[in-house]
Amino acid sequence: MPANRDGSAAETRIRQEAIAWYARLCSGEATDADRMAWQRWLESHPEHQRAWRPFDAMQAMLQRVPGHLASSTLQASRHGRRRVLRGMAALVGSGTVAGLSWQLAGRQEGMRSWLADYRTGTGERRDLMLADGSALTLNTGTSVDVSMDAAQRRIVLHGGEILVRTARSAGARDGRPFTVHTPQGRILALGTRFTVRSEGEQTVVSVLQDAVQIQTRQDAGHSLRLQAGQQAVFSGQRLGAPMPADPAQVSWVEGSLVVDGWRLEDVVRELARYRPGRLACDPAVAELRVSGVFPLADTDRALAVIARAFPVRAAGMTRYWVTLVPA
């Protein structure tokens, strides 16, 4: 658990309030006064708005769920708030929705990430200090659960990217293993500082200090040790070979994207993680090779720099639907 227990309790309370409001508004019994009270609650604090975003995403997802399933979850709420909450839990656990859950709250997040202890939105970064003195930095679109007890220190990365600085690397001593779990496997920290990125069917680990040990989900008997300056990509079934760490894997911590000879399409795909809406690259310019440093907090400026340096332009009706095309 984080050292700041008051902050953690406040975040939990706000999330519970958001769930209660969602249940009320979906109950079929909400009045105009209820909706006005919810609007006041929503606008009263930025954290309320943050907590509400997943429910907007859930509504969008439910519109794509077969009608009988969505109806059985939401319309059953006329029987009361507790029934709504049970229905929501049933929806989370259903196989049908599990197949669609990746769409919830953007590309990185599913139902588990929505319920995670800590999350960041698109373009957001967040620093956490943990109870043992370790530190986490969450990159854009990231969700994690944190669990610490007498036997272990465990981080579950549902999706996104984190920088880990274990307490041991900060000079403290703690005999409990420190592990990061992703859908593809487990990373054991050996007194270290490292990044972990989980996206799609693979995890990328880059070691900045000391070492880590990696095991895949389906082959716990085989492991790979990575030293400082190395990185590896692994899936649930296969460990990739160690390779020199790519500076771009850690430059996000300083708010930059550092690239050296990247394909323009790959640069655009990376920048798209940090902005809402759709950002794409026309195949006609996808193979242009790009080197440089681009700001992640201002992707419009990054695109403008690219447009000045290369024969491309940003085309789109709004900043939420942009494609780089030949100039």
Per residue in 209-226, pLDDT tens?
A: 999 999 999 887 889 999
The DSSP secondary-structure symbol of 125 reads: -
Q: Which residue has the higher pLDDT, 64 or 9?
A: 9
Spatial distance between the Cα atoms of 109 and 55, rounded to a whole number of angstroms: 13
User: Token pair for residue 73?
Assistant: 């979850």
Q: Average pLDDT of 293-318?
A: 92
pLDDT confidence tier of residue 79, bands split at 50, 70 and 90 = very low
What pLDDT does residue 7 have?
Answer: 55
Spatial distance between the Cα atoms of 165 and 298, rounded to a whole number of angstroms: 27
Per residue in 127-164, pLDDT tens?
A: 999 988 999 999 999 999 999 988 889 999 999 999 99
pLDDT tops 90 at residue 31: no
Task: Return the H-helix or E-strand segment holding 9.
Answer: helix 5-25
pLDDT tops 70 at residue 324: yes
Q: What is the mean pLDDT of the chain?
A: 79
Q: Which of 55, 87, 61 lies closest to 74 in space, CA to CA?
A: 87
Q: Given strand 278-281, what is the order of strands in its sheet?
A: 278-281, 321-326, 312-318
Are 263 and 283 in contact by the 8 Å Cβ rule? The answer is no
Helices (H), 215-326: 264-272, 299-309
Per residue in 96-122, pLDDT tens?
A: 333 333 344 344 445 556 678 899 989
Per residue in 231-290, pLDDT tens?
A: 999 999 999 999 998 777 788 988 999 888 899 999 999 999 999 889 999 999 999 999
Spatial distance between the Cα atoms of 18 and 38, rounded to a whole number of angstroms: 9
pTM listed for this prediction: 0.66
Per residue in 59-71, pLDDT tens?
A: 554 444 444 434 4
What pLDDT does residue 177 have?
Answer: 92
DSSP assignments along 16-73, one per residue = HHHHHHHHHHTSS---HHHHHHHHHHHHT-HHHHHHHHHHHHHHHHHTTS-HHHHHHH
Task: Return the H-helix or E-strand segment holding 91.
Answer: helix 81-93
Task: Return the H-helix or E-strand segment holding 89.
Answer: helix 81-93
What pLDDT does residue 109 have?
Answer: 43
pLDDT tops 90 at residue 302: yes
pLDDT confidence tier of residue 18, bands split at 50, 70 and 90 = confident
